[in-house]
């Protein structure tokens, strides 16, 4: 049975959660060293907060916010005021501290528009003066008109996805954080922006007339249109605005399992932008546009409420991680010169390395191995190998299966002897081939990126190599090797050169962490000439 977290049973629900967390600590973490136990407790509590978010409560919230009663929530309108009053009441129920004007939740601007601001004070005496903001705009376009709607005009535009979904997610994040046995170390401001649809006016106004000193703001999370999750895909904006943000979000996603699209696109189309322009690290969660965008048809029956829950869980974990970090990561000014085009350049595959032998073959069961192509000027060509040669042995040993043969050729060191049978020749020929380049044990090339410190971006996978066979992919991001992290490429190269097989790579792929195990041959491990 789902317990409804209404004000009437709030303390009972929080108490149950607290004692459940305490029991978990006692049972699972008692044998750990103090620092590890504290970290484990914090992680368990964060997961508890994220898992408290329910589909039923999200549906109730979006049903209220996207009801005709609020007449499309246009900034400054009767419906906009009514929805604002409802949301301020929710902030009060969540025990947030007023962070608006004159000890209220409201910050008024432009005659009749209002931001709604609430604060959760941090628990760390040294860090609570620093603030993480999580925000979502609560206004929409009212009845729709040319300039803010794709029509038809004159009908209520309820904006279920845009942005009742983001507001509902924010409220559930706040409710989840209230269940933590210990509040996050930094303070958290929950911001519901008005007049976003009129040009990001509410968030711009707050930045020009802040209720919290801007120097205290260390990061901003924005939730805009998180209600149409498809194929488990979420767009993440702003991961380049501070070093390590992609990794931070991906590590939290291991508890959620969404497909994350870390776009380098930054557009002036939502409330993340004014903070980005002010050089404040920012992230935005967004499930994509659709045909109902800014139309009366953006209604609740089209929402993926399960998807809102999963995105909200990820936002909760990300917010807690940002708020609990030992130090805040500064804004990356270089991100203002980055774009999807720069991303394509940085992530493009490296130029293929020179082939070691320059030969292709065909291995068939119960049939001879036949040479099918020779690269002109390659070591095989220089040794006199010909297309159509039948390969009898390699360094005195029978030719193994396709996969092992490729691994042996890549790992070979020094002169190799191929025995071949050639049409028109009575006796087999012995061809000595000196492979090009150094032995290839693993078969990867990588790049470093100051936006992702301690991460190696794979830019080349040698075909047929151990990395290829094991399942490493281009654009995989390596976080650790055999359980060991590294600060830079030199450290990673050193680990790679000395690590014993099997090699276990912790990689991130589309925001998901996985371990890829490969079984390389030692360098030079191949049948030796006899």
Domain CATH number, residue 99? 3.40.630.10
Among 327, 288, 320, 326, which residue's Cα sits nearest to residue 304?
A: 288
Q: Which has the closest alpha carbon to 206: 109, 80, 306? A: 109
Q: What letter would DSSP give residue 101?
A: G
Do 452 and 420 lie in one domain? The reply is no
Contact 46, 177 (CB under 8 A): no
Domain tally for the chain?
3
Contacting residues for 527 by C-beta, under 8 A, at least 6 apart: 394, 395, 396, 397, 408
Specify the pLDDT at position 523.
56
The whole-number pLDDT of residue 288 equals 98
Do 424 and 456 reside in the same domain of the chain? no
3-state secondary structure of 397: strand
DSSP character string of 256-287: T--EEEE-----SSSTHHHHHHTT--EEEEE-
The answer to whether the Cα torsion of 412, 413, 419, 425 is positive or negative is positive
Residue that terminates a domain, selected from 411, 433, 455: 433
Q: pLDDT tens per residue, the chain (530 residues)?
A: 333 344 334 433 544 444 454 444 444 555 666 667 788 888 999 999 999 999 999 999 999 999 999 999 999 999 999 999 999 999 999 999 999 999 999 999 998 999 999 999 999 999 999 999 999 999 999 999 999 999 999 999 999 999 999 999 999 999 999 999 999 999 999 999 999 999 999 999 999 999 999 999 999 999 999 999 999 999 999 999 999 999 999 999 999 999 999 999 999 999 999 999 999 999 999 999 999 999 999 999 999 999 999 999 999 999 999 999 999 999 999 999 999 999 999 999 998 888 999 999 998 777 889 999 999 999 999 999 999 999 999 999 888 888 899 999 999 988 999 999 999 898 999 999 999 999 999 999 999 999 999 999 999 999 999 999 999 999 999 999 999 999 999 999 999 999 999 999 999 999 999 999 999 987 544 444 44
- Decide if 91 contacts 81 (C-beta within 8 A): no
Tokens representing 253? 């996603």
In-domain check, residue 172: yes
The pLDDT of residue 364 is 78
Q: Are residues 128 and 235 in the same domain?
A: yes
Is there a domain that residue 168 lies in? yes
333 shares a domain with 408: no
What is the token pair recorded at 200? 């990001």
pTM over 0.85: yes
User: Residues 268, 413: one domain?
Assistant: no
Q: Give the residue from 280, 111, 270 showing the smallest Cα distance to 203.
A: 270
Q: Please tell me whether residues 219 and 265 are part of one structural domain.
A: yes
In a domain, 13, yes or no: no
- Spatial neighbors of 218 by CB under 8 A, at least 6 apart, are 130, 131, 132, 186, 280, 281, 322, 328
**Does residue 37 fall inside a structural domain?**
no
Strands 187-193 and 217-223: unpaired
Q: Is 527 contained in some domain?
A: no
Among residues 433, 457, 475, the one where a domain terminates is 433
Residues 334 and 378 in one domain: no
Give the closest residue to 127 by CA, choosing from 180, 187, 174.
187
SS3 494: helix
- For residues 140 and 323, give the distance between their C-alpha atoms in angstroms, rounded to a whole number: 30
Does 67 lie in the same domain as 182?
A: yes
Q: Does residue 420 share a domain with residue 469?
A: no
- The size of the chain, in residues, is 530
Residue 16 inside a domain? The answer is: no
| Residue 193 burial by Cβ neighbours in a 10 Å radius (0-12, 13-18, 19+) | buried
Residue that terminates a domain, selected from 286, 305, 340: 340
Asked whether residue 379 falls in the same domain as residue 332, the answer is: no
Burial of 199 (0-12, 13-18, 19+ CB in 10 A): exposed
Q: Is residue 139 part of a domain?
A: yes
Indicate whether 523 belongs to any domain.
no
């990126």: which residue's tokens? 449
- The CA-CA-CA angle for residues 99, 158, 298, to 5°, reads 120
Range of the domain at 190: 55-340
CATH of residue 392: 2.30.42.10
- Co-location of 270 and 202 in the same domain: yes
Other C-beta atoms closer than 10 Å to the C-beta of 514 total 12
Same domain (yes/no): 389, 502: no
């Amino acid at each position: 049975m789902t317990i409804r977290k209404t004000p009437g049973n709030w303390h009972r629900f929080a108490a149950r959660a607290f004692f459940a967390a305490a029991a978990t600590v006692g049972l699972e973490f008692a044998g750990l060293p103090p620092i590890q136990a504290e970290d484990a407790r914090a992680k368990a509590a964060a997961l508890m907060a994220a898992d408290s978010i329910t589909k039923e409560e999200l549906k109730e919230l979006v049903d209220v916010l996207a009801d005709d009663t609020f007449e499309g929530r246009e900034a400054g309108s009767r419906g906009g005021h009514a929805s604002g009053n409802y949301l301020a009441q929710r902030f009060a129920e969540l025990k947030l501290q007023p962070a608006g004007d004159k000890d209220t939740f409201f910050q008024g601007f432009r005659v009749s528009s209002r931001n709604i601001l609430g604060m959760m004070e941090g628990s760390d005496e040294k860090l609570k003066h620093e603030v993480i903001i999580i925000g979502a705009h609560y206004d929409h376009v009212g009845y729709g008109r040319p300039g803010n709607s794709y029509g038809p005009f004159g009908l209520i535009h309820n904006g279920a996805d845009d942005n009742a979904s983001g507001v509902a997610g924010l409220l559930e994040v706040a409710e989840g954080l209230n269940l933590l046995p210990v509040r996050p170390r930094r303070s958290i401001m929950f911001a519901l922006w008005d007049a976003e649809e009129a040009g990001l006016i509410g968030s711009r106004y707050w930045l020009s007339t802040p209720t919290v000193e801007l120097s205290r703001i260390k990061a901003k999370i924005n939730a805009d249109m998180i209600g149409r999750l498809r194929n488990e895909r979420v767009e993440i904006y702003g991961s380049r605005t501070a070093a390590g943000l992609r990794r931070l979000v991906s590590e939290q996603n291991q508890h959620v399992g969404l497909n994350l699209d870390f776009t380098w696109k930054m557009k002036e189309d939502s409330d993340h932008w004014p903070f980005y322009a002010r050089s404040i690290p920012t992230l935005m969660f967004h499930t994509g546009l659709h045909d109902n965008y800014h139309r009366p048809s953006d209604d609740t029956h089209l929402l993926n409420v399960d998807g809102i829950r999963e995105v909200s869980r990820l936002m909760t974990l990300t917010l807690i991680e940002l708020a609990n970090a030992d130090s805040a990561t500064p804004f990356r000014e270089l991100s203002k010169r980055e774009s999807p085009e720069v991303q394509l350049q940085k992530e493009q595959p490296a130029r293929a390395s020179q082939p070691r032998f320059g030969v292709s073959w065909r291995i068939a069961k119960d049939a001879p191995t036949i040479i099918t192509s020779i690269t002109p000027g390659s070591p095989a060509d220089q040794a006199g190998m010909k297309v159509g040669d039948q390969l009898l042995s390699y360094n005195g040993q029978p030719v193994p299966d396709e996969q092992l043969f490729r691994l042996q050729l890549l790992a070979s060191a020094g002169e190799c002897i191929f025995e071949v049978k050639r049409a028109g020749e009575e006796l087999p020929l012995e061809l000595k081939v000196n492979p090009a380049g150094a032995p290839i044990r693993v078969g990867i090339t990588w790049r470093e990126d100051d936006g992702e410190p301690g991460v190696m971006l794979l830019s080349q996978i040698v075909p047929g190599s151990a990395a290829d066979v094991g399942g490493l992919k281009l654009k995989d991001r390596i976080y650790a090797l055999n359980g060991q992290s590294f600060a830079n490429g030199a450290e990673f190269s050193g680990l790679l050169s000395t690590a014993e097989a099997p090699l276990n790579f912790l990689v991130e792929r589309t925001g998901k962490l996985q371990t890829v195990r490969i079984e390389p041959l030692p360098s030079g491990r191949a049948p030796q000439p006899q």
